[in-house]
Every structure is written in C-alpha cells, then in structure tokens.
Structure 1
Amino acid sequence: MISYYLLAAALGIGAIFTGVWSYQAKLRRGRLLGVTLPVGAAEDAGVQGVRAEYRRSSRRAALFLLAALVPFFFSRGYFAVNYAYFFIWLILAYFVSSRPFVLANRALKRIKRERGWSAGASRTVQADLRLSRDKDKGALPVVWFLLPLVPSAVLLIRSVQAGQTPVAVTSAIAILNTLLFLAMALLSARLKARVYHRDSLLNLELQRRKLRAQSLLWLLLAGFEALFAFLFALSLNGERESSGILPVWAVLTVAVPVLLLILFLRYWESIKNRLLPEEGGEGTIVRDEDDDWVDGLYYRNPDNPAVFVEDRSGFGTTVNLGTKRGRAVLWGSLGASAVLVLGIGILIGVMDSATPRWELRENGRVQIDYPLYSYGFPLEQVKSVTLVDRLPHGRRTNGLETDRTARGNFRFADWGRSKVYIFRNNPPYLVVELDGMHVVYNKKNPQDTRELYASLRAAWEKGN
C-alpha cells in the first residue's frame, strides 16, 4: 500500500515539474525561457521555433518520466526497493524535465547574440536611497513564529519524558525547520531590494508587499511542520484513525511547500502586473542579467559578493555560485539532504527486512523486539490468548505496511488499539488480549505460529 503512496507522490511531483517548465514557455515582462528579450523580439521566427521545439521536447520528457514509473508496479511488495527507486526517479525527473529548458535557454541566448539584441543594462547597479533605508518594513513580526515553535517545543519535552523517541525526533525536526524558516524570513528582509521603477514610492510598495507575502509563506510552512508533529504523536498513540501518517507525510512534505510557493508566486506576479506599467513603459527599469544565470537556472556572478540573491522571479532566494560561501551552502545543503534521505532509507530497509522477535522471559514477561515498535507485557495482564485465521477489518495508524507484512500500530473494528507484527495473508494469527490493547503476531511458517500459541497458552494458564 505504501508503494502506491510513493507512486502518487511521484505523479504529483511530475505534474508540478511539468507545470513549472510549461510556465517558463510564456513571455512575462520581457523574459522568455530565462532570457530577457527586447520589446517585440518574441515574434521573431527563430524565437518562435525555439518555443515550439521546447514544447515538443517537454512533452517527450513527460512521457519518458511517466514510463519510468512502471517499475513501481513490479516491486510494490518490497517497500525498501520502492523507496530507493522513488528518489532515483526524483533525480532523473529533475534532470530530464529541465533538459528542454536548458537547451532552449542556450538557443535563445545564441539568437540574442546573433541579432545583437539588448534588453537593458547589464551588471549595472540601480540604487534607490529611500528603498534602501526602508526595505525591511512590511514583514510579519518575528514573534509570530512562536505560534508553531512553542507547541513543537512542548511536544518535544513531553515526548522525551514519555520515552517516545519517534515523536521526539519528529518534534525536534519541526523545531529545526521552524528556526530555518525564521532565518529565511530574516534573510529575505536583509537582501538588497530590487529597483523596478524610477518612482521610489512604487518600489517601496512592491518591497513591502513582497516581504509580507514571503514572511507569511515561511510562517505557514512552519505551521505545517508543527501540525504534522502533532498528528504524528496522535497517530503513534493510536488516538486517531488514519490510513498512515508516514506515507501521507511523504506526499505532503513535497506537495504542500511547492503548492504554497506556486500560490505565492502567482500572487507576486499579479501584484507586479497591477502596480507596474507595461513592459517598456515610462519609468520602468529593465536589467539584462542573462550572463549571470547559467542555463537560466543557477546564479553565478563572481563580481557580486553577496552569498544570497533574489531569484529571477523576484520573490524567492537563491545562492550565488560565483562565491566560495555560496558554493559551500549549495553543496552543504545537498550533502545534508543526501545524508537524511540515506539515513531514512537505511531505517526503512532495516524495518522492511527485519523479522519481529518474540521472547517469553523467565520472569513471565513477553517481549517483542522490532525497530521503533518494540513492545512488551507481563503474562499476568493477559486476558485471553487465541489463534484465529481471519482478522477483523482495521487500518494502520502508524507503522509499516506492505503487500507482504504489517508491523506497528493498528486500530481494528472489534478490538480497537492493537500492536501488529504479522506476515499478511499467512494465517493463523496469535492474538493476545490486554487491557485496552490487542497484540497480533505470527511467523512465516504457520506451524511455528501454532507451536508458539501452544507454548504461550500453557505458560499463561499455568500462571493463572
């Protein structure tokens, strides 16, 4: 089942990539496919040919990536394999989907050079003293970030006290991400403000609206992190039914930030279109920065000492790869992401391949060892021990469920909260009833399950 969540996430991400690159094929305020063009140049036959080829290449790339999802259907029983393939596909999706844009950007730059076109000043500093003085006004107060930070901190403290390691890790990640988003909001206010027009009041209004939207975006993302940590805690405690918070998280961690970013980018475009004159209008300032953007994607300007700069949309932030610190930030971020993904992959691989180990100890305590979901109980708390061939309808609240196995926290219609450690579709199942909890366990060999049931029942009846 989880493999289908990964497949759904891949389809969603593929659709987002397709939308992002399709967006680049439209002329917006003199920029087409990452190249700044003079007024009227978009009607040039060569430019039109590049646009047509870009659309054809983008369609071929989308079809190729769609076909590359087929292996998901043949390996759905092995979640660790699907997890690894999911990230391989993500890397492939980025490079394959961006390739048409890179080629089109290079082709347009070549046409621009051949035609001798100029779309504005290149590497010219535009200054607005009033804007420079008041550029940090408009952002939301920093204290607002306490709204997601405080609940995450409280959850972290309580989970540490209760010994709930998964919740503690999740809440700690939420705190770190909230601090990261706060840093991004502060960084946005410190960046050099862009000069769009000769009217200082207009520049200031644009800057204030942009900062307000940026800080709201980071605050919403921080709130999403805190919300997930809370839902994860509820799921782990079995207090709330769900089809599994982890696979949903796999989808939402990608979909929510990207969709919010698209929403705010559209808002920013609408603000510019409403406040700024038409392209080439009186007072507008156009800068030709094409040479600073490698393939239209990466900013590299060694003459600019700033590590962080505005991206081409004027809304987001990117790093300047022309500086040593900028390159260190980029490779450090990629390295940290790789370590995180690899660490989670190793954990999933261990969980997918590990077999729960049942032990009846001399002190009369049953201990089940399994990564993240170990559980134990004394025989004196057992109300009944049964062997069944069918389980009631239920759903996972937290844990790992594949076509072959089900491990973790479940909630069954007749039993309520349950700890499950089974090979699916492989009866019989040993069911231990406790106060407010059922434990369901089996072995791969049905005869081994029957023998385990006999030994446990004998020990339980002897104790009674």
Structure 2
Amino acid sequence: MDTLILLIPAIIVCAAVLALFWTQSKPKKGLLFGVTLPEAALDDPRLTALKKEYRKAYVRFAFAACAALVPLLALSDYFSLAFIYFFIWLGAVLASSTVPFKQFHHKATVLKRENGWFTGETRQVSIKKEIEHMTGLKPWSPYWFIVPALICVPLIIISLQNGDPLLRLTGAAALLMTGVTLLISITFTHGKPRAYSRNPVPNAAIQQAARRYWSMFWLTLAIFEVMNATIAYNVLSEGTMIGLGMWLGGIAMVSLAPLFGVFYVHNVIKDLEYRYGSTDGVSFEADNDMHWRHGLAYYNPDDSSVWVQKRIGGGMTFNLATKTGRRLHYGLFVIIAATLIPLMVNIVRADAHPPKLLIDDAGTVKIESSEYPYSFELSDVEELTLEDALPTGFRTNGMATSTYARGNFSLTDLGKAKLYVFKQAPPFIIIKLDELYVVYNEEDPARTRELYEELAEKTGISGENATE
C-alpha cells in the first residue's frame, strides 16, 4: 500500500517532466530546443528532422522512467527501502531528463553556427584560455590509490580476527576491489584516446580534461567502496538483525552510487564536448544564446541580476555567474540533502530496529525505540488489556506506514497515546497510565501474549484477553 502511494507522485513527476520538454519541440518566441533562431530558419528540413528525433527520444525516456518504477512494487514489504528508492528514482529522472534536450540543443546550435542563423548583435567569444587550461590538465597519479589501500589495512587486521569465514575475508575483498578500481582507472586515463572533435586543438583539450575527471572519479570510488565495506563489516559483526530482502535491497541501492558517478562524469565531459567540440579552439561567433548553457542555465558575468526569467518552463532561475546566484543554487541542494538524509536514516533504523519492551528487576518498563524510547514504572499502570483491534486515531509526532505505527498519537477513544505496534499483527497490549496510553505489540502474536501475561502477573492487573 505504501509503495502504491509513492507511485502517485512518481507518475505525476514523470508526466510533468515529459510535458515540459515535449513542448520544446515546437518553436516558441523564436526558441527551438533553447536556441534562438530567425523565423526563416524554423522551416528548415534539418530542424524538422531534429524535431521528430527529439520526440522519439523523450518517448524512450518516458518508457525508461516508468520501467524504473517497477522495483517499488518489489519493495512493498520494506517501506524504508521503497522510500529511499523513490528519491533515488526522482533524482535520476530529474537529472537524466535534460540529457536528450542538451543533445538536440547542441545539434541545433551547430546548425545555427554553420548557417549563420544569428539574431541580434553577435560577437566573437574567445575560448583560448579555457582550452589552454584543459590542455594542461593531467590525470591524478595512480600512486594516490595508496590512500584507499592504507584505509584497508585496519579492516584487514580486524576482519582476520573474526571467527566467521566470510567476514574474515572482508578486508582482503576491499583491498582487491581497490586493485580492480586502479586497473579500470589506468584503462580510462592511459587507454586509446577518444575523438571529441574534428579539430585537433579542442579535441586534445577535452581528452586531457576527460582523463583528469575519470582519474578523480575512480579514486573517489575506491575510497567509497572501502568505507562501504567497513560499514558492512561492522553491521554484520554486531549481529544486527536485518531481513535478507532488506539487506539485499540495501546492497543494490549502495551499488547505484558508482552508476550515478559514471553518469555524472560522463555528462560533465559531454558538456565540454558540446561547448568546445564544434569550435576551432580559439573563438566562436555567438549572440545572446552564449549566456544560456544548453539553453537551461544562465551564466552572464556582465549581468548583475541574481534572478532572470527562465527560457524553458515558467518561473525564474539564477544567474550562476554571480556569487549570490551560485550560493542560492547550490544551497538548495545542500538543504534538500540535509533534510532527506536524516529522514532516510531514521526510516531505515525504524525498519531494521523494531521497538523492544523490557521489564527490569526494579519494576521499570523500558521500550527501546530508535526514535521514540519511553519508560514507566509498573506501579504507574492503572489498566491493562489485550485487544484484537487497534484503536483508531491520528499521528501527532511519530512514524506511520501500512505496516507499523511508532511515536506519539491521539487516539479517538483513548486520547493521548504512544504507539509501538505492527498494524497487521494483532493482538495489542493497551496500558493505561496517568493521562497517557501505551499501545504495544510484537510482530509475533505469541510473543505479544507472553509479554501481556508477564505484565499482568507483575502488576496484578488483568483485563479481558483477546480471543486466541
């Protein structure tokens, strides 16, 4: 049920993104694919062919985005993984949605330059410094892989002392992965050069930049994998009880990180190809389109405005050439990450660590919960019952899915309450305290009844038992 709820906003997002970019296949105010073109050029057969290809590209994008929602159904029993997957899917869709647009924006830009389809004033834009800078870039030395190798050493020492044969190999496996990543990095940075441009000057510059970026990525990935292996070892060695499905789902999602990294670096290099590949490496003629990177991002050092009207879609966008514009733009991503990451961590903890009710020798009842721990004395219990039906109400400060409810609630018939329940696993222990109810059960009904009998015996209070 929870995953079906996530599907609704996912489908809305997919439809909105598709509608936004689909409309760009029709000229509007002289803009086509984010490129300003004169009226006479809009009927050119080459642009007509691009429009057809563009629509097909976004039809394929829509099918791929919808197909990527299928794993949400497979994660129906693990809301935390479904929740995380939804945001991974959302980020991937929003990031990849611009890829076809950028591709066709570039093709239209090349046609514009070749045919002189400029509007308004034009000027020669010098790119000599940028090309010289990229040409001077060098890939990071393979010796930097000593860093992840050294990080492996403590893990190797600790894991070799573990009695479990599989866990004993964790450190060695992490070191082996570092070696594999090193070999891949060398292949990318010292392999056969790729042709990014017909002109040798920008081609050499983009090649050098590509080698630098790939070397940075593979080193970062090697460190990430070692840290990931360390975390996995600590979790497994502590005997944390995580279901097989949740564990495999977690591994699959962590494995998406390298894919996203490859996608990101590939697109950074593709951006360089779009910007410099069709030039002579010295300068190019341009009109006001030069201030719109791929027709999407505004970058104009000569404009002090922080906000400008978007070319694609409605609303405003930032001028990334201004400090304030950059801070606001990237600050949004920081705020989103600072909000979502703790939320995701809490949801995973809630799925992996269900509450436990413990009674100590001093007569204190403790409910251990990752986010909503609570304790009270047996002497404070006024009523105690075991019910088949969960009282209805609404959440005031807690977590609620179709599977469980935890935290602070206001119940229709009882009032203020703390719930620690698996909704689909009756019966439920209802404990009345002074102006507060505590509702608790275990996922195993037999264990719930055992706890009820223990509480009833120690408090001397017993209500009507639920039916067996």
Please tell me the TM-score bracket, short chain as reference.
0.5 to 0.7
User: Could you tell me which residue of structure 2 aligns to residue 426 of structure 1?
Assistant: 425
- Report the Cα distance in structure 2 between the residues aligned to 1:323 and 1:436, rounded to whole angstroms: 57
User: Could you tell me which residue of structure 1 aligns to residue 444 of structure 2?
Assistant: 445
User: Could you tell me which residue of structure 2 aligns to residue 383 of structure 1?
Assistant: 382
The yes-or-no answer on 1:32 pairing with 2:32 is yes
- Deviation of 1:73 (Å): 0.5
TM-superposition CA deviations, 1:387-420 (whole Å, max 9, x none): 2334355555553334543323445554454422
- Report the Cα distance in structure 1 between the residues aligned to 2:110 and 2:358, rounded to whole angstroms: 71
Q: Which residues in structure 2 correspond to 1:127-276 (within 5 Å)?
A: none
- Deviation of 1:384 (Å): 1.8
In structure 2, give the amino acid aligned to 1:401: A
User: Could you tell me which residue of structure 2 aligns to residue 308 of structure 1?
Assistant: 306
User: Could you tell me which residue of structure 1 aligns to residue 258 of structure 2?
Assistant: none
- Report the Cα distance in structure 1 between the residues aligned to 2:430 and 2:324, rounded to whole angstroms: 58
> Is the contact between residue 76 and residue 403 of structure 1 (CA under 8 Å) also seen in structure 2?
no
- Report the Cα distance in structure 2 between the residues aligned to 1:105 and 1:61, rounded to whole angstroms: 17
In structure 1, give the amino acid aligned to 2:5: Y
- Deviation of 1:66 (Å): 0.7
Distance 1:312 1:332, change over 3 A: closer
Structure 2 stretches of 5 or more lacking a match?
A: 125-285, 463-468
In structure 1, give the amino acid aligned to 2:6: L
Distance 1:67 1:398, change over 3 A: farther
User: Could you tell me which residue of structure 2 aligns to residue 297 of structure 1?
Assistant: 296
Q: Which residues in structure 2 correspond to 1:351-370 (within 5 Å)?
A: 351-360=350-359, 364-370=363-369
- Report the Cα distance in structure 1 between the residues aligned to 2:326 and 2:381, rounded to whole angstroms: 60
User: Could you tell me which residue of structure 2 aligns to residue 454 of structure 1?
Assistant: 453
> Is the contact between residue 307 and residue 319 of structure 2 (CA under 8 Å) also seen in structure 1?
yes
User: Could you tell me which residue of structure 1 aligns to residue 240 of structure 2?
Assistant: none
> Is the contact between residue 77 and residue 402 of structure 1 (CA under 8 Å) also seen in structure 2?
no
Paired residues in the alignment total 300
- Deviation of 1:61 (Å): 0.6
- Report the Cα distance in structure 2 between the residues aligned to 1:340 and 1:393, rounded to whole angstroms: 30
Equivalent position SS for 1:352: helix
> Is the contact between residue 307 and residue 325 of structure 2 (CA under 8 Å) also seen in structure 1?
no
Distance 1:47 1:459, change over 3 A: same
- Report the Cα distance in structure 1 between the residues aligned to 2:451 and 2:34, rounded to whole angstroms: 66
- Deviation of 1:63 (Å): 1.3
- Report the Cα distance in structure 2 between the residues aligned to 1:381 and 1:48, rounded to whole angstroms: 79
In structure 1, give the amino acid aligned to 2:399: L
- Report the Cα distance in structure 1 between the residues aligned to 2:305 and 2:365, rounded to whole angstroms: 57
Tell which has more relative contact order, 1 or 2 (C-alpha 8 A, sep 6+). Answer: 1
> Is the contact between residue 77 and residue 403 of structure 1 (CA under 8 Å) also seen in structure 2?
no
- Report the Cα distance in structure 1 between the residues aligned to 2:435 and 2:24, rounded to whole angstroms: 56
Q: Percent identity?
A: 36
> Is the contact between residue 34 and residue 311 of structure 2 (CA under 8 Å) also seen in structure 1?
no
User: Could you tell me which residue of structure 1 aligns to residue 244 of structure 2?
Assistant: none
- Report the Cα distance in structure 2 between the residues aligned to 1:120 and 1:395, rounded to whole angstroms: 61
- Deviation of 1:113 (Å): 1.7
- Report the Cα distance in structure 2 between the residues aligned to 1:107 and 1:305, rounded to whole angstroms: 27
> Is the contact between residue 78 and residue 402 of structure 1 (CA under 8 Å) also seen in structure 2?
no
Equivalent position SS for 1:444: coil
- Report the Cα distance in structure 1 between the residues aligned to 2:121 and 2:307, rounded to whole angstroms: 18
Equivalent position SS for 1:27: coil
- Report the Cα distance in structure 2 between the residues aligned to 1:374 and 1:23, rounded to whole angstroms: 52
> Is the contact between residue 308 and residue 317 of structure 1 (CA under 8 Å) also seen in structure 2?
no
- Deviation of 1:326 (Å): 5.4
TM-superposition CA deviations, 1:198-235 (whole Å, max 9, x none): xxxxxxxxxxxxxxxxxxxxxxxxxxxxxxxxxxxxxx
Equivalent position SS for 2:25: coil
In structure 1, give the amino acid aligned to 2:357: W
User: Could you tell me which residue of structure 1 aligns to residue 68 of structure 2?
Assistant: 68
Equivalent position SS for 1:95: helix
- Report the Cα distance in structure 2 between the residues aligned to 1:75 and 1:94, rounded to whole angstroms: 22
In structure 1, give the amino acid aligned to 2:439: V
In structure 2, give the amino acid aligned to 1:445: D
> Is the contact between residue 358 and residue 367 of structure 1 (CA under 8 Å) also seen in structure 2?
yes
Report the aligned-residue RMSD: 3.2
- Report the Cα distance in structure 2 between the residues aligned to 1:46 and 1:97, rounded to whole angstroms: 23
User: Could you tell me which residue of structure 1 aligns to residue 120 of structure 2?
Assistant: 120
> Is the contact between residue 397 and residue 410 of structure 1 (CA under 8 Å) also seen in structure 2?
yes
The yes-or-no answer on 1:401 pairing with 2:419 is no
- Report the Cα distance in structure 2 between the residues aligned to 1:425 and 1:94, rounded to whole angstroms: 36
- Report the Cα distance in structure 1 between the residues aligned to 2:416 and 2:11, rounded to whole angstroms: 33
In structure 1, give the amino acid aligned to 2:14: G
- Deviation of 1:80 (Å): 1.8
Equivalent position SS for 1:43: coil
The yes-or-no answer on 1:47 pairing with 2:20 is no
TM-superposition CA deviations, 1:127-163 (whole Å, max 9, x none): xxxxxxxxxxxxxxxxxxxxxxxxxxxxxxxxxxxxx
Equivalent position SS for 2:120: coil
- Report the Cα distance in structure 2 between the residues aligned to 1:80 and 1:448, rounded to whole angstroms: 25
User: Could you tell me which residue of structure 2 aligns to residue 334 of structure 1?
Assistant: 333
Distance 1:358 1:28, change over 3 A: same
Equivalent position SS for 1:24: helix
Equivalent position SS for 1:104: helix
- Report the Cα distance in structure 2 between the residues aligned to 1:32 and 1:78, rounded to whole angstroms: 44
Structure 1 stretches of 5 or more lacking a match?
A: 125-286
- Deviation of 1:289 (Å): 1.9
The yes-or-no answer on 1:14 pairing with 2:10 is no
- Report the Cα distance in structure 2 between the residues aligned to 1:375 and 1:403, rounded to whole angstroms: 23
